[in-house]
Amino acid sequence: MLEKYFKIMTYGCQMNENDSEKISGLLKDLGYQPTDEDNKADMVILNTCSVRENANDKFFGHLGKYKKLKEQKPNLILSICGCMMQQEEIVNEIKRKYRFVDLIFGTHNIHVFPDLLSDFLERREMVVNVWEDGEQIVEGLPTDRKYSFKAYVSIMNGCNNFCSYCIVPYTRGRERSREPENIVKEVQSLAQSGCKEITLLGQNVNSYGKTLDNPISFAGLLRKLCKVDGIERIRFMTSHPKDLSDELIETIAEEEKVCNHIHLPFQAGNSRILKVMNRKYTKEDYLALVEKIRKRIPNIAISTDIIVGFPGETEEEFQDTIDVVQKCKFDSAFTFLYSVRGGTPAEKMEEQIDEDVKHDRLNRLLDVQNDIGRELNSVYDGEEVLVLVEGPSKNNPNKLAGRTDTNKLVNFTGDEGSIGQIVKVKITGIKSFSLDGVQV
Protein backbone atom coordinates (compact mmCIF):
# COMPACT_ATOMS: atom_id res chain seq x y z
CA MET A 1 0.00 0.00 0.00
CA LEU A 2 1.15 3.51 -0.77
CA GLU A 3 2.09 5.52 2.34
CA LYS A 4 -0.16 8.49 3.01
CA TYR A 5 1.05 11.57 4.87
CA PHE A 6 -0.58 14.39 6.81
CA LYS A 7 0.65 17.72 8.12
CA ILE A 8 -1.08 19.61 10.95
CA MET A 9 -0.53 23.31 11.55
CA THR A 10 -1.65 24.35 15.02
CA TYR A 11 -2.40 27.96 15.96
CA GLY A 12 -3.33 29.25 19.42
CA CYS A 13 -3.17 27.73 22.86
CA GLN A 14 -2.33 24.40 24.50
CA MET A 15 -5.98 23.30 24.13
CA ASN A 16 -5.51 23.43 20.40
CA GLU A 17 -2.17 21.62 20.65
CA ASN A 18 -3.87 18.88 22.64
CA ASP A 19 -6.70 18.73 20.06
CA SER A 20 -4.13 18.42 17.27
CA GLU A 21 -2.56 15.48 19.12
CA LYS A 22 -5.99 13.83 19.04
CA ILE A 23 -6.52 14.57 15.34
CA SER A 24 -3.10 13.13 14.69
CA GLY A 25 -3.98 10.04 16.75
CA LEU A 26 -7.15 9.52 14.70
CA LEU A 27 -5.26 9.88 11.42
CA LYS A 28 -2.54 7.46 12.47
CA ASP A 29 -5.27 4.92 13.25
CA LEU A 30 -6.43 5.40 9.67
CA GLY A 31 -2.94 4.59 8.43
CA TYR A 32 -1.67 8.12 7.76
CA GLN A 33 1.88 9.12 8.75
CA PRO A 34 2.88 12.58 10.01
CA THR A 35 5.15 14.88 8.00
CA ASP A 36 6.37 18.48 8.23
CA GLU A 37 6.83 18.80 4.48
CA ASP A 38 4.11 20.40 2.38
CA ASN A 39 5.28 18.54 -0.71
CA LYS A 40 5.04 15.16 0.90
CA ALA A 41 1.62 15.72 2.49
CA ASP A 42 -1.52 14.13 1.08
CA MET A 43 -3.56 15.99 3.64
CA VAL A 44 -3.07 19.32 5.44
CA ILE A 45 -5.06 20.26 8.53
CA LEU A 46 -5.11 23.83 9.82
CA ASN A 47 -6.24 23.95 13.46
CA THR A 48 -7.20 27.60 13.91
CA CYS A 49 -7.29 30.13 16.75
CA SER A 50 -9.50 33.17 16.98
CA VAL A 51 -8.36 34.85 20.16
CA ARG A 52 -6.87 37.95 18.47
CA GLU A 53 -7.18 39.38 14.99
CA ASN A 54 -3.55 38.54 14.14
CA ALA A 55 -4.33 34.84 14.70
CA ASN A 56 -7.09 35.10 12.09
CA ASP A 57 -4.78 36.99 9.72
CA LYS A 58 -2.09 34.34 10.03
CA PHE A 59 -4.59 31.62 9.16
CA PHE A 60 -5.90 33.44 6.07
CA GLY A 61 -2.30 34.01 4.97
CA HIS A 62 -1.56 30.31 5.18
CA LEU A 63 -4.82 29.45 3.45
CA GLY A 64 -3.61 31.47 0.45
CA LYS A 65 -0.40 29.47 0.43
CA TYR A 66 -2.28 26.16 0.45
CA LYS A 67 -4.50 27.35 -2.39
CA LYS A 68 -1.33 27.52 -4.53
CA LEU A 69 -0.18 24.12 -3.31
CA LYS A 70 -3.56 22.64 -4.22
CA GLU A 71 -3.19 24.02 -7.73
CA GLN A 72 0.01 21.99 -8.05
CA LYS A 73 -1.35 18.97 -6.18
CA PRO A 74 -5.09 18.74 -6.91
CA ASN A 75 -5.45 15.60 -4.78
CA LEU A 76 -4.23 17.30 -1.62
CA ILE A 77 -7.01 17.21 0.98
CA LEU A 78 -7.27 20.49 2.88
CA SER A 79 -9.11 20.35 6.22
CA ILE A 80 -9.67 23.26 8.57
CA CYS A 81 -10.90 23.11 12.14
CA GLY A 82 -10.51 24.79 15.51
CA CYS A 83 -11.88 27.92 17.13
CA MET A 84 -12.36 30.05 14.00
CA MET A 85 -14.69 27.41 12.57
CA GLN A 86 -17.09 27.91 15.47
CA GLN A 87 -17.88 31.35 14.05
CA GLU A 88 -20.62 31.20 11.45
CA GLU A 89 -19.51 34.29 9.56
CA ILE A 90 -16.03 32.80 9.07
CA VAL A 91 -17.38 29.49 7.79
CA ASN A 92 -19.69 31.41 5.44
CA GLU A 93 -16.77 33.46 4.16
CA ILE A 94 -14.79 30.28 3.48
CA LYS A 95 -17.72 28.68 1.73
CA ARG A 96 -18.03 31.79 -0.45
CA LYS A 97 -14.43 32.73 -1.16
CA TYR A 98 -12.30 29.66 -0.47
CA ARG A 99 -14.02 26.90 -2.41
CA PHE A 100 -10.79 24.88 -2.57
CA VAL A 101 -11.16 23.91 1.12
CA ASP A 102 -12.32 20.28 1.36
CA LEU A 103 -13.36 19.73 4.92
CA ILE A 104 -14.48 21.94 7.81
CA PHE A 105 -15.18 20.85 11.36
CA GLY A 106 -15.20 22.53 14.78
CA THR A 107 -13.92 22.21 18.33
CA HIS A 108 -16.81 19.98 19.51
CA ASN A 109 -16.67 17.21 16.90
CA ILE A 110 -13.05 16.22 16.44
CA HIS A 111 -14.07 12.60 17.11
CA VAL A 112 -16.20 12.48 13.94
CA PHE A 113 -13.32 13.59 11.71
CA PRO A 114 -12.74 10.03 10.33
CA ASP A 115 -16.43 9.86 9.25
CA LEU A 116 -16.26 13.29 7.65
CA LEU A 117 -13.14 12.24 5.81
CA SER A 118 -14.72 9.13 4.36
CA ASP A 119 -17.75 11.21 3.43
CA PHE A 120 -15.46 13.59 1.58
CA LEU A 121 -13.55 10.79 -0.15
CA GLU A 122 -16.85 9.41 -1.42
CA ARG A 123 -18.42 12.65 -2.61
CA ARG A 124 -15.35 14.74 -3.39
CA GLU A 125 -17.06 17.98 -2.49
CA MET A 126 -16.73 20.35 0.44
CA VAL A 127 -17.91 18.77 3.71
CA VAL A 128 -18.92 21.19 6.48
CA ASN A 129 -19.81 19.87 9.92
CA VAL A 130 -19.63 22.23 12.89
CA TRP A 131 -21.50 21.62 16.15
CA GLU A 132 -22.76 24.53 18.19
CA ASP A 133 -21.82 22.92 21.48
CA GLY A 134 -20.65 19.54 22.73
CA GLU A 135 -23.04 17.88 25.18
CA GLN A 136 -20.71 15.23 26.51
CA ILE A 137 -16.95 15.11 26.70
CA VAL A 138 -15.76 12.37 24.37
CA GLU A 139 -13.36 10.06 26.22
CA GLY A 140 -10.78 7.66 24.91
CA LEU A 141 -9.67 9.33 21.68
CA PRO A 142 -6.27 8.12 20.50
CA THR A 143 -3.69 10.82 21.23
CA ASP A 144 -0.45 11.09 19.32
CA ARG A 145 1.66 12.99 21.85
CA LYS A 146 4.53 15.22 20.85
CA TYR A 147 6.74 14.09 23.77
CA SER A 148 6.86 10.76 25.60
CA PHE A 149 8.00 12.27 28.89
CA LYS A 150 5.59 15.19 29.25
CA ALA A 151 1.96 15.53 28.25
CA TYR A 152 -1.02 17.84 28.18
CA VAL A 153 -4.16 16.54 29.83
CA SER A 154 -7.38 18.51 29.29
CA ILE A 155 -9.46 18.30 32.43
CA MET A 156 -12.34 20.45 31.26
CA ASN A 157 -13.72 22.06 28.13
CA GLY A 158 -15.27 25.44 27.51
CA CYS A 159 -15.63 28.58 29.57
CA ASN A 160 -18.55 30.24 31.34
CA ASN A 161 -16.80 33.44 32.37
CA PHE A 162 -17.58 35.66 29.41
CA CYS A 163 -14.85 38.23 29.96
CA SER A 164 -16.18 41.03 27.78
CA TYR A 165 -13.23 41.02 25.34
CA CYS A 166 -12.92 37.28 24.87
CA ILE A 167 -14.09 34.99 22.08
CA VAL A 168 -13.28 31.70 23.81
CA PRO A 169 -16.72 31.12 25.46
CA TYR A 170 -18.23 31.35 21.97
CA THR A 171 -15.70 29.04 20.29
CA ARG A 172 -15.35 26.45 23.03
CA GLY A 173 -18.88 26.40 24.40
CA ARG A 174 -20.04 25.89 27.97
CA GLU A 175 -17.79 24.69 30.73
CA ARG A 176 -17.80 20.91 31.30
CA SER A 177 -15.47 18.91 33.55
CA ARG A 178 -14.21 15.41 32.85
CA GLU A 179 -14.91 12.77 35.46
CA PRO A 180 -11.92 12.51 37.83
CA GLU A 181 -11.75 8.71 37.28
CA ASN A 182 -11.22 9.24 33.55
CA ILE A 183 -8.47 11.79 34.19
CA VAL A 184 -6.74 9.49 36.70
CA LYS A 185 -6.92 6.61 34.20
CA GLU A 186 -5.39 8.74 31.46
CA VAL A 187 -2.59 9.89 33.76
CA GLN A 188 -1.92 6.33 34.95
CA SER A 189 -1.56 5.15 31.39
CA LEU A 190 0.75 8.08 30.61
CA ALA A 191 2.88 7.19 33.63
CA GLN A 192 3.07 3.56 32.48
CA SER A 193 4.41 4.67 29.13
CA GLY A 194 7.16 6.70 30.81
CA CYS A 195 5.59 10.15 31.15
CA LYS A 196 7.08 12.20 34.02
CA GLU A 197 5.33 15.56 33.77
CA ILE A 198 1.71 16.42 33.07
CA THR A 199 0.13 19.80 32.45
CA LEU A 200 -3.56 19.94 33.29
CA LEU A 201 -5.49 22.22 30.95
CA GLY A 202 -8.67 24.22 31.42
CA GLN A 203 -9.72 27.82 30.71
CA ASN A 204 -10.22 28.14 34.45
CA VAL A 205 -9.05 25.10 36.40
CA ASN A 206 -10.35 26.64 39.65
CA SER A 207 -13.92 25.89 38.64
CA TYR A 208 -13.07 22.27 37.80
CA GLY A 209 -15.47 19.64 39.11
CA LYS A 210 -18.12 21.94 40.56
CA THR A 211 -20.90 20.78 38.24
CA LEU A 212 -20.14 17.05 38.23
CA ASP A 213 -22.76 14.69 39.71
CA ASN A 214 -20.23 13.96 42.44
CA PRO A 215 -18.57 17.36 42.79
CA ILE A 216 -14.85 17.53 43.51
CA SER A 217 -12.55 20.53 43.84
CA PHE A 218 -9.55 21.15 41.61
CA ALA A 219 -7.30 20.70 44.65
CA GLY A 220 -9.04 17.37 45.28
CA LEU A 221 -8.22 16.29 41.73
CA LEU A 222 -4.58 17.36 42.17
CA ARG A 223 -4.29 15.25 45.31
CA LYS A 224 -5.62 12.19 43.47
CA LEU A 225 -3.17 12.72 40.60
CA CYS A 226 -0.24 13.12 43.00
CA LYS A 227 -0.79 9.49 43.98
CA VAL A 228 -0.04 8.22 40.48
CA ASP A 229 3.38 6.50 40.60
CA GLY A 230 5.84 7.60 37.97
CA ILE A 231 4.45 11.12 37.54
CA GLU A 232 7.01 13.47 39.05
CA ARG A 233 5.68 16.89 38.14
CA ILE A 234 2.18 18.27 37.82
CA ARG A 235 1.54 21.65 36.22
CA PHE A 236 -1.78 23.32 35.46
CA MET A 237 -3.20 26.31 33.66
CA THR A 238 -5.08 28.62 33.79
CA SER A 239 -6.12 29.87 37.23
CA HIS A 240 -8.67 32.68 37.31
CA PRO A 241 -7.99 35.06 40.23
CA LYS A 242 -11.70 35.31 41.08
CA ASP A 243 -11.94 31.82 42.58
CA LEU A 244 -8.48 30.57 43.52
CA SER A 245 -9.10 28.69 46.77
CA ASP A 246 -7.05 28.46 49.95
CA GLU A 247 -7.30 24.70 49.50
CA LEU A 248 -5.41 25.02 46.21
CA ILE A 249 -2.69 27.18 47.79
CA GLU A 250 -2.35 24.59 50.56
CA THR A 251 -2.14 21.78 48.01
CA ILE A 252 0.61 23.47 45.99
CA ALA A 253 2.50 24.11 49.22
CA GLU A 254 2.14 20.57 50.56
CA GLU A 255 2.30 18.32 47.53
CA GLU A 256 5.83 17.67 46.39
CA LYS A 257 4.77 16.84 42.82
CA VAL A 258 2.72 19.98 42.19
CA CYS A 259 5.09 22.50 40.61
CA ASN A 260 5.87 25.79 42.29
CA HIS A 261 4.42 27.83 39.49
CA ILE A 262 1.06 29.44 38.97
CA HIS A 263 -0.23 31.20 35.87
CA LEU A 264 -2.55 33.89 37.18
CA PRO A 265 -3.66 36.34 34.47
CA PHE A 266 -4.70 39.74 35.82
CA GLN A 267 -5.40 41.36 32.39
CA ALA A 268 -5.56 44.95 33.69
CA GLY A 269 -4.57 46.75 36.87
CA ASN A 270 -7.40 49.22 37.10
CA SER A 271 -10.56 48.22 38.99
CA ARG A 272 -12.92 50.13 36.69
CA ILE A 273 -11.44 48.43 33.63
CA LEU A 274 -11.57 45.06 35.40
CA LYS A 275 -15.25 45.60 36.05
CA VAL A 276 -15.98 46.43 32.42
CA MET A 277 -13.89 43.40 31.44
CA ASN A 278 -16.23 41.33 33.66
CA ARG A 279 -13.27 39.82 35.54
CA LYS A 280 -15.02 39.86 38.95
CA TYR A 281 -12.06 41.04 41.05
CA THR A 282 -10.49 44.41 41.82
CA LYS A 283 -6.89 45.57 41.76
CA GLU A 284 -6.81 45.25 45.55
CA ASP A 285 -8.27 41.72 45.45
CA TYR A 286 -5.56 40.67 43.01
CA LEU A 287 -2.70 42.22 44.99
CA ALA A 288 -3.99 40.61 48.19
CA LEU A 289 -4.24 37.23 46.47
CA VAL A 290 -0.65 37.38 45.23
CA GLU A 291 0.51 38.38 48.68
CA LYS A 292 -1.38 35.47 50.25
CA ILE A 293 0.12 32.97 47.78
CA ARG A 294 3.66 34.32 48.31
CA LYS A 295 3.27 34.22 52.07
CA ARG A 296 2.36 30.52 52.05
CA ILE A 297 4.72 29.52 49.19
CA PRO A 298 7.65 31.97 49.26
CA ASN A 299 9.55 30.45 46.34
CA ILE A 300 6.57 30.22 43.95
CA ALA A 301 6.92 31.60 40.42
CA ILE A 302 3.94 33.58 39.19
CA SER A 303 3.28 34.35 35.55
CA THR A 304 0.44 36.37 34.09
CA ASP A 305 -1.40 37.66 31.02
CA ILE A 306 -1.98 41.36 30.43
CA ILE A 307 -4.08 43.23 27.87
CA VAL A 308 -3.28 46.87 27.08
CA GLY A 309 -5.62 49.30 25.38
CA PHE A 310 -8.99 47.85 26.39
CA PRO A 311 -11.77 50.25 25.23
CA GLY A 312 -11.81 53.39 27.33
CA GLU A 313 -8.51 52.69 29.12
CA THR A 314 -6.97 56.05 30.05
CA GLU A 315 -3.26 56.68 30.60
CA GLU A 316 -3.96 56.90 34.32
CA GLU A 317 -5.78 53.57 34.28
CA PHE A 318 -2.91 52.02 32.34
CA GLN A 319 -0.58 53.20 35.13
CA ASP A 320 -2.47 50.82 37.45
CA THR A 321 -1.35 47.97 35.20
CA ILE A 322 2.26 49.14 35.51
CA ASP A 323 1.75 49.43 39.26
CA VAL A 324 0.51 45.83 39.55
CA VAL A 325 3.49 44.61 37.50
CA GLN A 326 5.88 46.52 39.77
CA LYS A 327 4.23 45.29 42.95
CA CYS A 328 3.71 41.63 41.99
CA LYS A 329 7.08 41.04 40.31
CA PHE A 330 5.97 38.39 37.84
CA ASP A 331 8.44 35.80 36.65
CA SER A 332 6.99 36.25 33.20
CA ALA A 333 4.13 38.05 31.53
CA PHE A 334 2.35 37.44 28.23
CA THR A 335 1.35 40.88 27.03
CA PHE A 336 -1.26 41.59 24.38
CA LEU A 337 -2.66 44.55 22.49
CA TYR A 338 -6.42 44.54 22.92
CA SER A 339 -7.97 43.10 19.76
CA VAL A 340 -11.65 43.63 18.90
CA ARG A 341 -13.50 40.31 18.60
CA GLY A 342 -16.77 40.22 16.68
CA GLY A 343 -19.75 39.22 18.81
CA THR A 344 -18.18 40.06 22.19
CA PRO A 345 -19.61 42.84 24.40
CA ALA A 346 -16.37 44.86 24.15
CA GLU A 347 -16.80 45.07 20.37
CA LYS A 348 -19.71 47.46 20.87
CA MET A 349 -17.90 49.67 23.37
CA GLU A 350 -17.16 53.18 22.29
CA GLU A 351 -13.73 54.72 22.83
CA GLN A 352 -11.70 52.00 21.14
CA ILE A 353 -8.05 52.97 21.68
CA ASP A 354 -5.79 54.03 18.79
CA GLU A 355 -3.29 51.42 17.65
CA ASP A 356 -0.29 53.69 18.24
CA VAL A 357 -1.40 54.41 21.81
CA LYS A 358 -1.72 50.66 22.41
CA HIS A 359 1.74 50.02 20.99
CA ASP A 360 3.27 52.76 23.09
CA ARG A 361 1.69 51.33 26.26
CA LEU A 362 2.82 47.83 25.39
CA ASN A 363 6.41 48.98 24.87
CA ARG A 364 6.50 50.80 28.19
CA LEU A 365 5.00 47.76 29.92
CA LEU A 366 7.60 45.46 28.36
CA ASP A 367 10.45 47.70 29.52
CA VAL A 368 9.24 47.44 33.11
CA GLN A 369 8.58 43.68 32.96
CA ASN A 370 11.87 42.78 31.23
CA ASP A 371 13.88 44.38 34.02
CA ILE A 372 11.82 42.50 36.61
CA GLY A 373 12.21 39.19 34.76
CA ARG A 374 15.98 39.57 34.73
CA GLU A 375 16.07 40.64 38.36
CA LEU A 376 14.04 37.59 39.43
CA ASN A 377 16.18 35.29 37.32
CA SER A 378 19.36 36.62 38.90
CA VAL A 379 18.60 34.87 42.20
CA TYR A 380 19.32 31.61 40.35
CA ASP A 381 22.92 32.66 39.60
CA GLY A 382 25.30 29.96 40.83
CA GLU A 383 22.44 27.79 42.11
CA GLU A 384 21.81 24.15 41.24
CA VAL A 385 18.35 23.47 39.86
CA LEU A 386 16.45 20.38 38.71
CA VAL A 387 15.54 20.50 35.04
CA LEU A 388 13.34 18.19 32.97
CA VAL A 389 15.39 17.94 29.77
CA GLU A 390 13.20 18.49 26.70
CA GLY A 391 15.67 18.29 23.81
CA PRO A 392 18.20 20.40 21.92
CA SER A 393 18.13 24.13 22.69
CA LYS A 394 16.31 26.23 20.08
CA ASN A 395 19.07 28.84 19.84
CA ASN A 396 22.04 26.46 19.96
CA PRO A 397 21.72 22.84 18.78
CA ASN A 398 24.87 21.90 20.71
CA LYS A 399 23.12 22.72 23.96
CA LEU A 400 20.13 21.18 25.70
CA ALA A 401 17.02 22.91 26.98
CA GLY A 402 14.62 22.12 29.77
CA ARG A 403 12.50 23.64 32.48
CA THR A 404 12.72 23.98 36.22
CA ASP A 405 9.86 23.25 38.55
CA THR A 406 9.21 27.02 38.49
CA ASN A 407 8.92 26.84 34.68
CA LYS A 408 12.20 28.69 33.98
CA LEU A 409 13.69 27.82 30.62
CA VAL A 410 17.29 26.64 31.05
CA ASN A 411 19.73 26.27 28.14
CA PHE A 412 22.71 24.20 29.22
CA THR A 413 25.67 22.10 28.22
CA GLY A 414 24.97 18.50 29.08
CA ASP A 415 24.57 14.90 28.12
CA GLU A 416 22.20 14.21 25.22
CA GLY A 417 21.27 10.91 26.82
CA SER A 418 19.46 12.82 29.55
CA ILE A 419 16.58 13.98 27.30
CA GLY A 420 13.38 13.04 29.10
CA GLN A 421 15.15 12.86 32.49
CA ILE A 422 15.15 15.27 35.41
CA VAL A 423 18.78 16.31 35.94
CA LYS A 424 20.76 18.75 38.08
CA VAL A 425 22.05 21.89 36.32
CA LYS A 426 24.31 24.59 37.75
CA ILE A 427 23.22 28.06 36.61
CA THR A 428 26.06 30.10 35.14
CA GLY A 429 24.30 32.90 33.27
CA ILE A 430 21.17 35.03 33.55
CA LYS A 431 18.95 36.45 30.81
CA SER A 432 15.55 38.19 30.94
CA PHE A 433 13.68 35.18 29.57
CA SER A 434 15.98 32.24 30.31
CA LEU A 435 18.90 30.85 32.31
CA ASP A 436 22.18 29.32 31.08
CA GLY A 437 23.93 26.47 32.82
CA VAL A 438 26.02 23.31 32.89
CA GLN A 439 24.79 19.84 33.82
CA VAL A 440 26.27 18.70 37.13
Which residues, other chains included, contact 112 with Cβ-Cβ below 8 Å and sequence gap of 6+?
A: 105, 129
For the residues of 257-275, what is the DSSP string, one character each? TB-SEEE---B-S-HHHHH
- If one asks whether residue 155 binds ligand F3S (CB under 6 A), the answer comes out as no
Which does residue 150 bind out of ligand SF4, ligand F3S, ligand SAH, none, counting CB within 5 to 8 angstroms by kind? none
List Cβ neighbours of 320 (8 Å cut-off, separation of 6 or more): 268, 269, 270, 271, 273, 283
49 binding ligand F3S? (CB under 6 A): yes
Contact (CB, 8 A) for 44 and 78: yes
What residues form DSSP beta bridges with 306?
267, 335
**Quick one: which segment of 1-9, 12-20, 208-216, 276-284 binds ligand F3S (CB under 6 A)?**
12-20
Nearest in space to 48 (alpha carbons), one of 11, 73, 18, 23: 11
- Residue 166 assigned as binding residue: yes
**Residue of 165, 208, 236, 281 interacting with ligand SAH (CB under 6 A):** 165
Strand, helix or coil at 436? Answer: strand
Q: Does 263 bind ligand F3S (CB under 6 A)?
A: no
Q: Tell whether 195 is in a known binding site.
A: no
Smallest distance from ligand SAH to CB 339, Å: 4
Q: Which of 12, 134, 265, 373 binds ligand F3S (CB under 6 A)?
A: 12
What's the rounded Cα separation, in Å, for the pair 363 and 322?
11
Binder among 79, 143, 203, 321 for ligand SF4 (CB under 6 A) = 203
DSSP assignment letter at 358: H
Q: Which of 16, 24, 56, 161 binds ligand SF4 (CB under 6 A)?
A: 161
Using the rule CB under 6 A, give the single segment among 163-171, 182-190, 349-357, 385-393 that binds ligand SF4. Answer: 163-171
**First-to-last C-alpha distance (Å) of the chain:** 49
Q: Answer yes or no whether residue 166 interacts with ligand SAH by CB under 6 A.
A: yes
Q: In whole angstroms, how large is the CA radius of gyration of the chain?
A: 22
Query: Residue 13, annotated ligand binder?
Result: yes
The CB-of-18 to ligand SAH minimum distance in angstroms stands at 14
| Binds ligand SAH by CB under 6 A, chosen from 51, 195, 225, 427 | 51
Question: What residues have CB less than 8 Å from 233, skipping those under 6 apart?
Answer: 196, 197, 198, 257, 259, 388, 405, 422
Q: Is 83 in the site for ligand F3S (CB under 6 A)?
A: yes
49 labeled part of a ligand binding site: yes
| 241 touches 281 (CB < 8 A) | yes
Q: What burial letters (b/e) apply to 375-396, b meaning 16+ CB within 10 Å?
A: ebbeebeeeebebbbbeebeee
CB of 331 to ligand SF4, least distance (A): 20
Binding window for ligand SF4 (CB under 6 A); candidates: 7-15, 134-142, 162-170, 189-197: 162-170
Give the residue numbers of the binding site: 13, 49, 83, 159, 163, 166
Give the residue numbers of the binding site for [4Fe-4S] cluster: 13, 49, 83, 159, 163, 166
Binding residues for ligand SF4 (CB under 6 A): 159, 161-163, 166, 168-169, 203-204, 240
